[in-house]
Amino acid sequence: MGTVWPPGSCSPMSRSSFPEYGTCRQLTLFEHGKPVLQVLTSQQNAPAAALLIWLRARWRIENAFKDLAHNYGIDWLCDYTADLIPDITPVANPARTATKKLRDTAKTDHENAQKTLAALTTSTLRPIATLNKQIVTAQHNVTKTAATLHKHEQNLKKIPAKIPANKAKPGLLRALPATKRRTLQLVLRLLAYNSELFLADHLNTYLKDPNEYRTHTRNFLHLPGTITYTPTHITVTLQPPANPRLTKALTHLTEELNHTPPHLPGDHRPISYHITPN
């Protein structure tokens, strides 16, 4: 008979060694006696249970962003209103580029002057007086080009590599989406996502279907029905799902919500939910 693991337990770790990787641990997460997650890690000291918790939390975050993008359009740009602001994006400094070209030219001139002087010191040119005169001229040219090179190098140190774009091109602007509207949309989408998650968790109390309860909750959001407004109450009447099991779970959920009725923002009227009898 195989070992029966309690829900959420992890197996004893096994160790292996792989070429160019080293020693690693294999962890197995069991839920209700079945392996549901395998982890291969080079971390030797952290407790196995802690590692599994960290990884599951990370995957939950990734799945949350996936759901937010797919079902709530968290990455959509739904408002094209924008403000024009000075473009202060860092860009290459044109003055530095120009000075670098001058420095490079001066460096080339200095190297050529040094080569000319070196060639003259080993020259067999005669008469000696003519050669000496050329050497003096070459030495003067080396000194002059060295001074020019030093000047451009010092200037280059004073010029920043990046400057704001609107300084490189005066008056340059860029469009910035209206931050407040974008933030409001983001908050509303997060609230909708959290509301769905709240409803799904509470629905599964009655449904007991850990694999499909999120899908059923999302489908319930598309159920047909009517909304009735009175001076004192708001009533939401939903058509029942086709599946009796789902209808029963949804009925229990609406009864739970009606114990502490929600309100629309800025509206004092309680909202109650009902399922149309079959």
pTM for the whole structure:
0.52
Q: State mean pLDDT over 110-132.
A: 88
Based on the fold, state whether residues 33 and 119 are members of the same structural domain: no
Question: Which residue, 152, 173, 194, sits at the end of a domain?
Answer: 173
Q: State mean pLDDT over 26-33.
A: 83
Based on the fold, state whether residues 24 and 60 are members of the same structural domain: yes
Question: Which residue, 173, 196, 222, sits at the end of a domain?
Answer: 173
Q: In the prediction, which pLDDT does 127 show?
A: 84
Residue numbers of the domain that contains 144: 90-173
**Residue 77 domain-assigned (yes or no):** no
Per the structure, how many domains does the chain have? 3
Q: State mean pLDDT over 121-133.
A: 84
**Residue 34 domain-assigned (yes or no):** yes
Q: CA-CA distances (angstroms) from residue 258 to 22, 231, 235, 250, 268?
A: 58, 18, 10, 12, 15
Query: Across the chain, what does the average pLDDT equal?
Result: 87
With b for 16 or more beta-carbon neighbours within 10 A and e for fewer, the 96-119 pattern comes to: beebbeebeebeebbeebeebbee
Based on the fold, state whether residues 158 and 203 are members of the same structural domain: no
Question: Which residue, 173, 197, 229, sits at the end of a domain?
Answer: 173
**Residue 4 domain-assigned (yes or no):** no
